[in-house]
Amino acid sequence: MTDIEKSSMRPKLRLVDPKDILVPEVRVTSTWDPELLDMFKKSVEAMGIQQPLLCVQENERLILVDGLHRLEEAKLQNLPKVQVVVIPGDMKQVLLKNLMMNRLRGGTKASEMVKVLTTLNKDHGMTSEDIARETGLKRDYIEKLLETSRATREVLEALDREEIGVGHAWEIARVPDKDVQLRLLAQVFTYRLTVKDLHDIVNDTLEILKKREEQKPQPKAPEPTSIPTVRCHLCELEWPVRKVVGINICMGCYGIAHEAITKAKKEGRIPTEKTLTKEEEPTPPHEILTNEKMKIQQNIMKGSGQSEREDA
């Protein structure tokens, strides 16, 4: 790496319009109690923002890593410029640095950490080992938080309020059924379950759910469907739908056609149920050959008889 390249990678202090800083949707934000937040607002009003914000520059975008409260207060007080430490990078670096800095500071929401870790894992292809190496977080802790992403909203909210720990949330998230997760959460509150006790209950629950799934009746194969038929309005016989055509007939023509069909029935010139059935059954090939042979023989006999009469 040349000296110029090294220089471009170094952090730089800049004065930036707060409106030009992009706040990513997925990030970890430190939580402050109301009293501390009020003290912070008064200090900004009296002395301005003393600590620079941290941003990553990706192409022309400045993406916030740390300092959301400072940025929001600067916008509220219409500060024209704020000091920003800018480092080159991409969205993956934004998430990693944001996760590390806010976690070390404390007072973060576990649900936000779950979202950041899930994004690093799914969108940026980072394993739990990769994230642990970059952030200093324990691999086991990261894996539990990743698996906790399957928990219901109520479980994650209880985790944010610190009513349950990461171990509790991870155990509950092992159960795929959302309704069962809520019942397990209620048991934790009711009986003050330890993580170990909850682990045993979840194992029993998973075993019960597995047996129920195995006992479900297997779907039966669909019954073969017969070819649908429709009644002809003229001959009044049932025909397969593939042999029926739809036409528009006026009342006058319909009456004439119906009269003609009725007459043809009486004269035996209209298909009957027997002829219809016979038509549907194809004549076997050997019968066709036999019939042809008989015709040939009859013609031969007729020709022979005619010749003998002529000779007589």
Q: Would you state the pLDDT for residue 278?
A: 55
Q: Name which of 176, 31, 27, 178 is nearest 115 in CA terms.
A: 27
Q: Would you state the pLDDT for residue 267?
A: 81
Q: Would you state the pLDDT for residue 23?
A: 97
What is the pTM for the complete model shown?
Answer: 0.63
Q: Would you state the pLDDT for residue 259?
A: 82
Residue 242, judged by CB atoms within 10 A of its CB (0-12, 13-18, 19+), counts as: exposed
- Fold for domain 1-108? 3.90.1530
Q: Would you state the pLDDT for residue 204?
A: 95
Q: Return the structure tokens found at 170.
A: 């991870």
Alpha-carbon 60 to chain mean position = 34
Domain limits of the chain? 1-108, 231-238+249-272
Q: Return the structure tokens found at 159.
A: 């985790």
Q: Would you state the pLDDT for residue 106?
A: 62
- Residue 216's region, left for phi above 0, alpha for psi from -120 to 50, else beta, is beta
User: Which residue ranges of the chain lie beneath pLDDT 50?
Assistant: 4, 304-312
> Are 124 and 93 in contact, with CB atoms under 8 Å apart?
no
Q: Would you state the pLDDT for residue 109?
A: 87
Q: Would you state the pLDDT for residue 47?
A: 86
